[in-house]
Structure 1
Amino acid sequence: MTQAHILIVEDDPDISEPLAGFLRGNGFTISVAERAEAADEVLAHDDVDLVLLDVMLPGEDGLTLCRRLRAAGGPRIIMVTALSEPTDKVAGLELGADDYVSKPFDLGELLARIRAVLRRGPIADEEPRRPGAEPVLRFSGFAFHPHRRFLRSPAGVRIPLTGAETDLLLVFCQNARKVLSREELIKLTRGEGFAISTRSIDLLVSRLRRKLAGDDPLADPIRTVRADGYAFHPEVVGE
C-alpha cells in the first residue's frame, strides 16, 4: 500500500521536527516547509496527499495559502494553529480546510484526524460523470456532487463548496426532513469529540444558506427549529 505523503508547513522546528518524526513512525512520507514559498516548491515537484498548515507563518500567512491551494484544487488541508476562537476555526474551514486542530494538540488525536481526512480521498477535478462514479443528490432543482464538492444551481451555475459546507450539506441530505440539534450536527459532520462550538455550526449554516438561497428567505431550504436545531426540508433524490 502506498504511503500517504504529508507536507507540514510550520516555521517552528520545535513543533515540526517531533511531529515529522511521529508521523514517519506511523507510516507516512513527510516533507517540511517553513514558509509558503517552500511549500509551493514541494507541491510543484511531489504528489502531496495532505497539508498540515500553520496559520501564523512568516511572509504569506496560512489562510492565504489555504485559499490558493483550494482554488487550484490542491491536496487535503488540516489547519494546525494557536488561533482557537470559533470564528478563526470557521474562517479556516470556509477557505477550504478539511479540518482544524488547535495548539497545543494531542498527537494521537491529530493522527486520528489525519486518517479521517485521508479516508475521504483526493479532491477530484470536475469531469463528466461515468457509470459507477459518485452519486449525485438532487433537491429543489440543485444537483449536489459531494465527492467533488460543488453544487449545480437550477440555472446551471457551478457553486463551489468548502469541505465543511460539503460535510454539512451531505448530512442534511442524508437526514432530510429530520430535526437535527447543533450537537448532532457537530457529531455527524466532524466526529466524536470535535472541539467546535455550537455557535460555529450556526455560522456555517448561515454561509451554506447564502449559497443555497442568496438573499431570498423564501428559497431557504434549511429551517431553524427554535431551541432544537435545524431541519432540511426539500425532498432529496439520489442518482
Structure 2
Amino acid sequence: MNDIHILIVDDDPDISAPLATFLADKGYAAYVAASAEAAEDMLEKVNIDLILLDIMLPGADGLDLCRRLRAKGGPRIIMVTALDDPTDTVVGLEMGADDYVSKPFDLRALLARIRAVLRRPAGAENARRAPAVELVMQFSGFTFYPYRRFVRSPAGLRVPLTGAETDLLLVLCQHAREVLSREELISLTRGRDFPISERSIDLLVSRLRRKLAGDDPFAETIRTVRADGYAFEPEVRVI
C-alpha cells in the first residue's frame, strides 16, 4: 500500500506529525507541508495521490490552494474544516474538494474517508490504467466517462468532474427517470454508514446542473421533486 502517497497540509505539528505516523503505520507514504507554498513545492517532487488540506494556513489558505489545484486537475482532496464553521464545508465542496472532515477528527473515521476517496477513479492516473473496454454513457448529447471522471459536452468540450460529482452522476445515470431521495443518493454514492449530509448532496446536484447546462442554461437535466428528492430526466444509453 506504500505506493499510495498522501500529503498532509497543516501548519500545526501537533496534528500533522501524529497523523503522518498513523498513516505510515497503515501502510501509506505520508508527507507533511506547513503551508500552501510548501505543498505546491512538494507536488512538484512527489506524485501525490491524496491531500489532507487544512483551510487555515499561513499565507495562502487551503481554499486558495484547492482552487488552484482543481484548475489543473490535481490529486484528490479532503478538506479539513473547523467544527464550528459550516461555511468552510460548503465553500470547500463548491471549489471541488472530494470530501471534508471536521476538527477534531477520529483517526479511524478519517481513515475510512481516505479509503473511500481513494477508491474513486483519479482522472489522468486512472486514464492510463483504463481497461480496454470502458463504461461509457450518453445522454442529451453528452458523453460520460465515469472511469476517467469527465463528460464531453455536445460541443465536444471536455468537462472535468470531481470524484464526488462522478459518483453522483453515475448513480443518477444508472437510475435515470427514477425519483431518488437524498437519503437514497447518500446510500448509493457513499454507503449508509458514510457521514455525508443532505446539504452536500444538494451542493453536488447544483454543481452538476451547471456543468451539464450545455448550450441551454435553462435545461432541466436533474429535476427537483419537491419533498421527495431528484430525478435524472434524460434517456441514458450505454455505448
**What pairs with 1:102-181 in structure 2 (closer than 5 Å)?**
102-124=102-124, 132-181=132-181
5+ residue gaps in structure 1?
Answer: none
Partner-residue secondary structure (3-state), 2:235:
coil
RMSD of aligned alpha carbons: 2.5
Q: TM-score, normalised by structure 2?
A: 0.89
Q: State the distance in 1 between where 2:116 and 2:127 align.
A: 25
Give 3-state SS (helix, strand or coil) of 1:31's partner.
strand
Task: Give unmatched runs, 5+ long, in structure 2.
Answer: none
Distance change >3 Å, CA 115–CA 59, structure 1 → 2: same
Aligned equivalents of 1:27 and 1:125: distance in 2? Answer: 20
1:7, 1:114 → 2: CA distance?
12
1:151-176 Cα distance to aligned partner (Å, 9 max, x none): 21112222222333222211101111
Shift of 1:2: 4.5
**Greater alpha carbon shift after TM alignment, 94-103 vs 105-114:** 94-103
In the alignment, is the contact (CA less than 8 A) between 1:93 and 1:162 conserved in 2?
Answer: no
Structure 1 residue 55, shift from structure 2 partner: 0.7
Q: SS at the partner of 1:219?
A: coil
- Greater CA deviation, 197-206 or 29-38? 197-206
Q: Structure 2 vs 1, CA of residues 139 and 215 (structure 1 numbering), >3 Å: closer, same or farther?
A: closer
Q: Which moved more, 1:229-238 or 1:155-164?
A: 155-164
Task: Say if 2:122 and 2:163, in contact at 8 Å, map to a contact too.
Answer: no
The question of whether the paired residues in 2 share the 8 Å contact of 1:93 and 1:163 is answered with no
Counterpart for residue 6 of structure 1: 6
Q: Percent identity?
A: 71
1:155-202 superposed Cα distances (whole Å, 9 cap, x missing partner): 222222233322221110111111110111122223334444323322
Following superposition, the deviation at residue 127 of structure 1 comes to: 7.2
**Count of matched residue pairs:** 239
Question: Which whole-Å deviations, capped at 9, do the CAs of 1:122-171 have from their partners, x for residues lacking one?
Answer: 3217979x871532210011111223222211122222223332222111
TM-score (norm 1): 0.89
Q: 1:85 to 1:183 in 2, by over 3 A?
A: farther
* Counterpart AA for 1:136: V
